[in-house]
C-alpha cells in the first residue's frame, strides 16, 4: 500500500541523516565540489562499511541488502537534503538497476559485489546528443572476435571521468545491448565537463574503436534498460524532494531571525505566504516521489510505474526549482552571494530537472499514456 512507512523506514532515515550531518556538512560539500573527483574515497568506503548504502538495491545473493525502491528513495531524499557529493546516483542507483534488470548472470556476479562493498564507481553511458530516451541510442558495437569495439560519443555521463567501470548502451545489429568498458581503456577519451551544478560531475566520453564486452542477458534490452532509467528517475525525484524540503527549512529559519523594519521578515505576509506555498510544494513533492517509489516496489504493471515516474519527475523538478529560486529571493542580497548555500541548490535543481528528461517531456509522455 502507498505510504505505508514502517518504523524501520524511520530508523533508516534517521541513521542516514545523522551520518550525512556528521560527514557531509556544507563545508565538506564546498570542498568536494571544487575538486575534479567530486567525492571523498574515504567517505565512500566508510559509507559501505558502516551502513552498506551502495548495496541498498543490490540483491542479497550478490552481496547487497536486497532492499527496494522505497528504501532507496529514503536514502536519496536524505542525500538530496544534504546535497551529498558522491557517485551514488551513477553507481548505486543507475548502474545497479541496469545490471539487475538487464545484466547477464555472470556480469551481476562479477560487478555488483564490488559496488556493494564500496570498491567501485560504476556508471552508465547512454545519452547521445542530449536525447534521454533509451530507444534513441544509436552508437554501434562492432563484433571483434568474442568482444566488441565501440565508436562514438556519449555525453552527460554521470561521474564518467572517474568511473572504473562504464556500462555503455550501444547497438549490436539492431539490438540494444549493455557493454562493459574499463575506465582506463585504450581508445577512450574522458573529459570532465564544466557543469552548471558542480556538486554533480558529468563527463563526455569519446570512444574510438574502444574494446568492450557485452554484459547483458542477451537479446534486445530496450525494455529492461528503460525500466532501469525509470527507477533511476524515481530515486532522483526523491533526491529533489529532499532538496526542496531543505530549502524550505533554510528559508523559514532565515525568515524567523532576519529583522527588518523592526520585525522578523517572516511576520510579513509577503514572505510568510511564499514559505506557505513552498510548504505545499514540498509536501506534494514528497507525495509524488514516494507514490512512485511504492508503485515501483509493489506494482507488476510497468505502465503504472512509468506514469508515476512521469508525475514525480515533472512535479518534483519544477517544485525544487521554484523553491530554490524562492529561497534566493527570501534571503535577499545574501541569497545571491557565493557564500550562501542557496545557489548550490538552485544549480542542482535546474540540472536535475534537465537530466533524464525535462518536465515538459515527461508530461508529454504522460499525456500520451493517458490519452490526453
Q: Which residues sit at the interface with other proteins, rule CB under 8 A? A: 1-5, 10, 248, 252, 255-256, 263-264, 266-269, 271-273, 275-277, 279-280, 283-284, 286-288, 290-291, 311, 314-315, 360, 363-364, 366-367, 370-372
CB of 261 to other proteins, least distance (A): 10
CB of 371 to other proteins, least distance (A): 8
Q: Which residues pair with 181 in a beta bridge?
A: 166
Q: Give me 197's grid cell.
A: 551544478
Place of cell 513533492: 285
Q: Which CB atom, from 18 or from 256, has the smaller least distance to other proteins?
A: 256
Contact 103, 217 (CB under 8 A): yes
CB of 335 to other proteins, least distance (A): 17
CB of 348 to other proteins, least distance (A): 22
CB of 275 to other proteins, least distance (A): 5
Contact 320, 244 (CB under 8 A): yes
Nearest alpha-carbon partner for 215 in 249, 253, 168? 168
Place of cell 539490438: 175
Q: Which CB atom, from 1 or from 34, has the smaller least distance to other proteins?
A: 1
CB of 363 to other proteins, least distance (A): 4
Q: Which CB atom, from 71 or from 159, has the smaller least distance to other proteins?
A: 71
CB of 278 to other proteins, least distance (A): 9
Q: Which CB atom, from 5 or from 336, has the smaller least distance to other proteins?
A: 5
Start-to-end C-alpha separation, the chain = 27
Q: How many residues are there in the chain?
A: 372
Rounded to the nearest 10 degrees, the angle between the axes of helix 302-331 and helix 222-257 is 30
CB of 249 to other proteins, least distance (A): 9
Q: Which CB atom, from 27 or from 257, has the smaller least distance to other proteins?
A: 257
Q: Which CB atom, from 4 or from 34, has the smaller least distance to other proteins?
A: 4
Q: Which CB atom, from 13 or from 37, has the smaller least distance to other proteins?
A: 13
Helix (H) or strand (E) holding 144: strand 140-144
DSSP track, 178-221: EEEEETT-TTEEEEE---SSTTS-EEEEEEEEEEEEE-BSSS--
Q: Which CB atom, from 190 or from 272, has the smaller least distance to other proteins?
A: 272
Q: Give me 36's grid cell.
A: 575534479
CA distances from residue 270 to 244, 259, 308 in whole angstroms, order as listed? 20, 14, 34
Sign of CA dihedral 311, 317, 318, 324: positive
Sign of CA dihedral 88, 93, 98, 101: positive
Amino acid at each position: 500500500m502507498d505510504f505505508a512507512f514502517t518504523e524501520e523506514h524511520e530508523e533508516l532515515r534517521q541513521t542516514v541523516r545523522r551520518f550525512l550531518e556528521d560527514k557531509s556538512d556544507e563545508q565538506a560539500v564546498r570542498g568536494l565540489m571544487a575538486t575534479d573527483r567530486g567525492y571523498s574515497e574515504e567517505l565512500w568506503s566508510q559509507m559501505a562499511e558502516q551502513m552498506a548504502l551502495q548495496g541498498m538495491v543490490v540483491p542479497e545473493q550478490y552481496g547487497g541488502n536486497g532492499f527496494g525502491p522505497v528504501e532507496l528513495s529514503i536514502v536519496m531524499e536524505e542525500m538530496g537534503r544534504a546535497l551529498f557529493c558522491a557517485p551514488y546516483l551513477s553507481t548505486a542507483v543507475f548502474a545497479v538497476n541496469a545490471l539487475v534488470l538487464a545484466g547477464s548472470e555472470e556480469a551481476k556476479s562479477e560487478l555488483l559485489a564490488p559496488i556493494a562493498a564500496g570498491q567501485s564507481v560504476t556508471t552508465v553511458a547512454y545519452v547521445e546528443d542530449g536525447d534521454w530516451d533509451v530507444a534513441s541510442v544509436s552508437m554501434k558495437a562492432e563484433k571483434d572476435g568474442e568482444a566488441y569495439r565501440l565508436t562514438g560519443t556519449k555525453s552527460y555521463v554521470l561521474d564518467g571521468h572517474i568511473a572504473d567501470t562504464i556500462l555503455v548502451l550501444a547497438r549490436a545489429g539492431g539490438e540494444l545491448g549493455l557493454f562493459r568498458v574499463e575506465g582506463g581503456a585504450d581508445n577512450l577519451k574522458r573529459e570532465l565537463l564544466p557543469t552548471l551544478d558542480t556538486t554533480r560531475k558529468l563527463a563526455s566520453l569519446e570512444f574510438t574503436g574502444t574494446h568492450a564486452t557485452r554484459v547483458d542477458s542477451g537479446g534486445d534490452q530496450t525494455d529492461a534498460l528503460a525500466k532501469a532509467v525509470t527507477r533511476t528517475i524515481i530515486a532522483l525525484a526523491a533526491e529533489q524532494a529532499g532538496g526542496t524540503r531543505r530549502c524550505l527549512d533554510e528559508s523559514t529559519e532565515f525568515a524567523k531571525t532576519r529583522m527588518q523594519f523592526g520585525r522578523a521578515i517572516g511576520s510579513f505576509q509577503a514572505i510568510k505566504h511564499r514559505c506557505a506555498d513552498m510548504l505545499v510544494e514540498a509536501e506534494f513533492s514528497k507525495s509524488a516521489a514516494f507514490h512512485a517509489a511504492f508503485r515501483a516496489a509493489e506494482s507488476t504493471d510497468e505502465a503504472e510505474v512509468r506514469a508515476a515516474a512521469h508525475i514525480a519527475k515533472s512535479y518534483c523538478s519544477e517544485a525544487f526549482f521554484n523553491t530554490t529560486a524562492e529561497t534566493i529571493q527570501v534571503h535577499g542580497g545574501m541569497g545571491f552571494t557565493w557564500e550562501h548555500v542557496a545557489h548550490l541548490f538552485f544549480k542542482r535543481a535546474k540540472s536535475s530537472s534537465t537530466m533524464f528528461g525535462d518536465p515538459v517531456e515527461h508530461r508529454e509522455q504522460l499525456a500520451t499514456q493517458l490519452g490526453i
